[in-house]
Amino acid sequence: MELIPNTPAELLNAFRTQNPTSPRLSWYGPDSERVELSGRVLENWIAKTANYLVDELDAEPGTLITLDLPLHWRSLVWLMAAWAVGATVITTSSPESTTPDPFSQADIVATTNPALTNERIAGAKPAPLVVAVALPALQMRWMGELPPRTLDYSGDVRAHGDVFFADETPEESDIAWQHDSTTTSYAALLAGATQAPQRVLLEVRNGWSGVVQSALKTWATGGSVVLLDPAVEATEHLRSSENVTA
């Protein structure tokens, strides 16, 4: 029996070595978009993003990364990549009402709206690095003009390494994730994963906390996730065609 991963690094290794060609994440988005990532492909995206964070943005344990992204397969990749690096990820349900400000406090902000993000961080010293993230799977670069000093994740990430090994690892007590007023340590990220492998359907409308925690526990036990955009209905036909078990 395979050991259940206890750390992000162990989970990445599981993606790479335990049934690596089997689906681990299937995304249903607007306009009939469907993206399926095997363990190997999911790990590859995470590794490239982690290498991008380290090589281009100087991320390391303790770096604060705000995800101004909707729940999406790409935002799950960013979460896992940031944790592979040892960073602290900030997500929020209501950016406008969050205190402290999750934008000006961050070292790096990944966003789907770089113009608005640059307005939010105006005057911050030091200013966070802003990274524009295009969500469509086939979009190879940011379409349109980027504000000054804003980086293009989609245009740059593919040039980075396919495997990531961290030079430093965070302490178990370090904060991995800050969502609204709740903090999660690195020790708690993958704690309590005991169920048998399942094909789990998750919906974006259930929010960051419900989706991320369920996805981590599912992946840790060798299972896979089907994630639905709010525009997609969780029909019985979809559940059946995706072999959903939970």
Tokens of 155: 């245009």
56-115 tens-digit pLDDT:
999 999 999 999 999 999 999 999 999 999 999 999 887 665 556 888 889 999 999 999
Q: State the distance between the two ends of the chain, measured CA to CA, in whole angstroms.
A: 22
Check pLDDT > 80 for residue 145. Answer: yes
pTM of the model: 0.95
List of E strands, 62-113: 64-68, 88-91, 108-111
189-200 tens-digit pLDDT:
998 888 788 999
Tokens of 185: 């340590």
- Type of residue found at 63: T
Instruction: Give the span between the Cα atoms of 44 and 219, in whole angstroms.
Output: 15
Residue environment code for 96-126, b if the CB has 16+ CB neighbours within 10 A, otherwise e: eebeebbbbbbbbbbbbebeebbebbeeeee
